[in-house]
């Protein structure tokens, strides 16, 4: 306790000195946001008939799956005793949003993502079961559930069912990430979190981060495969990223203006926190570097006629900055909400470990895992096979 | 008709897989969840009987006072009278049942006091608090403050 007190300013209650929600809890909304955003980008093609983004459709689905598989791990690592998470399904607690989210997660993973990917890749799976030999053949046969039927009629049925799944997948993706915002927004004792705008802000920032991630993954995979990325597709994604970003930024500014105008009893404390403790991560990284700059870069592409290579570079920079900015947003919400005392009279400091259970190292490993899973998924189900 | 059934076959297989997964889940649930779970709330009802069957470890201060009238007298007028015997001496049911079989603990005359009286901004300002580095010279508090009536 003694060394921790050096990070404390002013008056603080004893249970507020040490932060309970660590960087792992920052990762959790970041990762689920990427899932929801990637899925919503995929649904653009399927439900809203935006043909230009078709080259990213399957990659977006696989990306969403890779990240969704990892999404609960930060929570498991933070809480410990992963075996107890099963109790959530065995004895459901219907009045707790956190407990019911287990079912939401399962529904989204199994019914929406896995089933949709299976339907979409079924033709490829059957074709590979026919072409391969030995263990690989057996593997693909099991994946195809022993079916060898890829008649036009059966594929039409798959497409119809897949479209229906995407249709119910959009509200599911909204719920998936809206929930994360809901959890923070409904903590009435914390003025930094408690706002009904929270689920909506989280949702739009999720779309922004997911679209940026799929855009970067598409450019990266094209580069690995020595193929030029489809510029029409990239331009369309860039445009949607800009639209989503403007709405997201607008919502955050509405929230900010409302807080300033309302100036309730917590305002002076939060205002001081943003100007001091959170200045780098909130003002510099989240707002200037991670929001205004990428919006500006994406807007330049819309306003000025640029060469393909220049556009590609701008998209790569804007996409990377976007991901940094959205990560900073999650950081500022989760960590920022625990830096000030609920007495509004003091502040504490977040001391992050390195190779501890909730330190930087496990966070980096958790952040790298989805890319490993995606690499395996792409090996099993190459999303560009139909070209 | 036959053809259309054949084209749906893979979907029926997937459906069967999902139904099987749900069946396995329900089967596991029927085994893993105790039968009396949820009768009174989100817990195992028989846990109440289990807890009731646990041995009683506290005797209660009236049991102590039956024999230790000298301590009752010594504590007269002290603010600490509201703190009952077993809070400092630990559970004493075994001692009350057979005084020779076990003796209650005699707590450390410094550690115990500091639990409540070490200086802490979160405590009310008029609550007696000391800085252990400056007060008492590292010795036991009971050297100056009689343990059953510590007020000066």
- Do the beta carbons of residue A205 and residue A246 sit within 8 Å? no
Q: Measuring CA to CA, which residue among A112, A267, A81 is closest to residue A174?
A: A112
Mean pLDDT of the region A104-117: 91
Tens-place pLDDT, residues A310-326? 999 999 999 999 999 99
> Domain residues of chain A, as ranges?
20-248+365-380
Which residue does chain A place closest to B17, by CA atoms? Answer: A145
Distance from CA of A90 to the nearest CA of B (A): 6
Q: Is the pLDDT of residue B3 over 70?
A: no
Q: Is the pLDDT of residue A9 over 60?
A: yes
- Do the beta carbons of residue A39 and residue A171 sit within 8 Å? no
pLDDT band at A7 (very low <50, low <70, confident <90, very high): confident
Mean pLDDT of the region A125-135: 91
A206: contact with B, CB 8 A cutoff: no
Chain A positions in Cβ-Cβ contact with residue B13 (cut-off 8 Å): 145-147
Put simply, the answer to whether B121 touches A11 (Cβ < 8 Å) is yes
The closest CB to that of B10, out of A93, A110, A122, belongs to: A122
pLDDT at A350: 92
Q: How many CA atoms lie within 13 A of A156 on its CB side?
A: 5
Mean pLDDT of the region A294-322: 94
Chain B positions in Cβ-Cβ contact with residue A149 (cut-off 8 Å): 6-7, 9-10
Distance from CA of A104 to the nearest CA of B (A): 15
Chain A positions in Cβ-Cβ contact with residue B39 (cut-off 8 Å): none
Mean pLDDT of chain B: 90
Which residue does chain B place closest to A11, by CA atoms? Answer: B121
Which residue does chain A place closest to B7, by CA atoms? Answer: A154
Tens-place pLDDT, residues A145-179? 988 888 888 999 999 999 999 889 888 888 888 89
List beta partners, residue A135.
none
pLDDT band at B5 (very low <50, low <70, confident <90, very high): confident
List Cα–Cα distances, A317 to A48, A280, A324, B15, in angstroms: 28, 20, 11, 44
- Do the beta carbons of residue A282 and residue A336 sit within 8 Å? yes
pLDDT at A386: 53
The closest CB to that of A147, out of B3, B9, B42, belongs to: B9
A161: contact with B, CB 8 A cutoff: yes
Consecutive H or E run containing A2: helix A2-5
For A324, the 3-state DSSP assignment is helix
Put simply, the answer to whether A13 touches B122 (Cβ < 8 Å) is yes
pLDDT band at A184 (very low <50, low <70, confident <90, very high): very high
For A340, the 3-state DSSP assignment is strand
Q: Structurally, what CATH architecture does the domain formed by A20-248+365-380 represent? A: Up-down Bundle (1.20)
Residue position matching structure tokens 């990428």 = A294
Chain B positions in Cβ-Cβ contact with residue A120 (cut-off 8 Å): none
Put simply, the answer to whether A147 touches B38 (Cβ < 8 Å) is no
Put simply, the answer to whether B11 touches A90 (Cβ < 8 Å) is no
For A235, the 3-state DSSP assignment is helix
Which residue does chain B place closest to A15, by CA atoms? Answer: B122
**Residue A194 in tokens:** 């408690």
A164: contact with B, CB 8 A cutoff: no
pLDDT at A222: 92
pLDDT at A363: 96
Cα A248 from chain centre = 14
Chain A positions in Cβ-Cβ contact with residue B9 (cut-off 8 Å): 147, 149
pLDDT at B85: 94
Mean pLDDT of the region A251-269: 93
| Concatenated DSSP letters of A79-104 | H--GGGGGHHHHS--TT-HHHHHHHH
Q: Is the pLDDT of residue A233 over 80?
A: yes
pLDDT at A370: 96
List Cα–Cα distances, A141 to A148, A194, A330, B67, B129, in angstroms: 8, 50, 42, 82, 75
Whether ipTM tops 0.90, in short, is no
The closest CB to that of B10, out of A14, A86, A149, belongs to: A149
List Cα–Cα distances, A277 to A99, A135, A183, A212, A270, in angstroms: 33, 57, 24, 28, 10
Put simply, the answer to whether B42 touches A93 (Cβ < 8 Å) is yes
Mean pLDDT of the region A216-221: 94
Mean pLDDT of chain A: 92
A144: contact with B, CB 8 A cutoff: yes
Which residue does chain A place closest to B11, by CA atoms? Answer: A158
The closest CB to that of A157, out of B11, B25, B120, belongs to: B11
Q: Is the pLDDT of residue A387 over 70?
A: no
Put simply, the answer to whether B13 touches A146 (Cβ < 8 Å) is yes
Mean pLDDT of the region B126-136: 90
Put simply, the answer to whether B13 touches A145 (Cβ < 8 Å) is yes
Task: Residue window 81-140, chain B: list those with CB within 8 Å of chain A.
Answer: 120-122
pLDDT at A2: 63
Spatial separation of the C-alpha atoms in residues A76 and B109, rounded to whole Å: 43
Which residue does chain A place closest to B26, by CA atoms? Answer: A90
pLDDT band at B7 (very low <50, low <70, confident <90, very high): confident
Task: Residue window 38-77, chain B: list those with CB within 8 Å of chain A.
Answer: 38, 42
B9: contact with A, CB 8 A cutoff: yes
Put simply, the answer to whether A154 touches B25 (Cβ < 8 Å) is no
**Residue A127 in tokens:** 């074709």
Q: Which tops the pLDDT comparison, B122 or B57?
A: B57
pLDDT at A51: 86
Q: Which of A43-52, A306-315, B132-141 has the highest mean pLDDT?
A: A306-315
Distance from CA of A151 to the nearest CA of B (A): 7
Cα B77 from chain centre = 30
**Residue A316 in tokens:** 């790569």
pLDDT at A385: 62
Residue position matching structure tokens 């977006």 = A60
Tens-place pLDDT, residues A65-74? 999 999 999 9
């Amino acid at each position: 306790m003694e060394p921790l007190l050096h990070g404390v300013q002013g008056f603080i209650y004893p249970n507020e000195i040490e932060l309970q929600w660590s960087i792992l809890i920052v990762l959790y909304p970041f990762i689920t946001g990427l899932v929801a955003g990637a899925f919503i980008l995929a649904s653009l093609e399927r439900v809203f008939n935006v043909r230009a983004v078709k080259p990213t459709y399957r990659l977006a689905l696989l990306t969403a799956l890779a990240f969704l598989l990892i999404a609960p791990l930060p929570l498991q690592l933070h809480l410990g005793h992963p075996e107890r998470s099963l109790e959530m399904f065995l004895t459901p607690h219907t009045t707790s949003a956190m407990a019911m989210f287990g079912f939401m997660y399962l529904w989204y993973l199994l019914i929406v993502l896995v089933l949709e990917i299976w339907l979409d890749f079924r033709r490829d799976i059957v074709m590979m079961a026919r072409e391969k030999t030995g263990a690989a053949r057996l593997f693909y046969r099991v994946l195809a559930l022993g079916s060898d039927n890829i008649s036009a009629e059966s594929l039409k049925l798959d497409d119809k069912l897949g479209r229906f799944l995407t249709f119910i997948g959009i509200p599911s993706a909204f719920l998936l990430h809206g929930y994360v915002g809901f959890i923070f927004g409904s903590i009435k004792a914390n003025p930094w979190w408690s706002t009904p705008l929270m689920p909506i802000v989280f949702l739009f920032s999720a779309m922004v981060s997911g679209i940026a991630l799929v855009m970067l993954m598409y450019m990266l995979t094209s580069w690995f495969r020595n193929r030029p990325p489809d510029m029409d597709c990239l331009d369309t994604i860039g445009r949607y990223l800009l639209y989503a970003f403007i709405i997201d930024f607008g919502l955050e500014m509405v929230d900010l203006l409302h807080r300033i105008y309302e100036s309730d009893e917590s305002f002076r404390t939060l205002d001081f926190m943003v100007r001091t403790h959170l200045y780098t991560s909130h003002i510099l990284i989240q707002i200037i570097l991670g929001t205004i700059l990428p919006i500006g870069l994406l807007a330049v592409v819309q306003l000025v006629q640029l060469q393909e290579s220049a556009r590609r570079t701008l998209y790569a920079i804007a996409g990377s900055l976007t991901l940094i900015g959205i990560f900073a947003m999650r950081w500022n919400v989760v960590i920022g909400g625990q830096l000030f005392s609920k007495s509004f009279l003091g502040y504490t400091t977040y001391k992050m470990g390195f190779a501890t259970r909730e330190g930087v190292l496990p966070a980096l490993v958790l952040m790298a895992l989805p890319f490993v899973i995606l690499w395996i998924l792409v090996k099993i189900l190459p999303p560009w096979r139909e070209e | 008709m036959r053809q259309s059934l054949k084209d749906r076959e893979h979907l029926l297989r997937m459906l069967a897989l999902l139904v099987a997964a749900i069946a396995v889940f329900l089967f596991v649930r029927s085994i893993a969840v105790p039968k009396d779970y949820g009768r009174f709330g989100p817990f195992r009802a028989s846990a109440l009987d289990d807890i009731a069957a646990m041995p009683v470890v506290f005797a209660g201060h009236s049991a102590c006072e039956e024999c230790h009238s000298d301590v009752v007298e010594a504590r007269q007028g002290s603010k600490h009278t509201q703190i009952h015997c077993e809070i400092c001496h630990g559970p004493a049911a075994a001692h009350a049942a057979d005084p020779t079989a076990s003796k209650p603990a005699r707590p450390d005359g410094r550690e115990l006091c500091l639990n409540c009286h070490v200086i802490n901004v979160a405590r009310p300002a008029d609550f007696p608090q000391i800085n252990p580095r400056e007060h008492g010279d590292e010795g036991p508090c009971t050297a100056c403050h009689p343990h059953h009536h510590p007020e000066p």
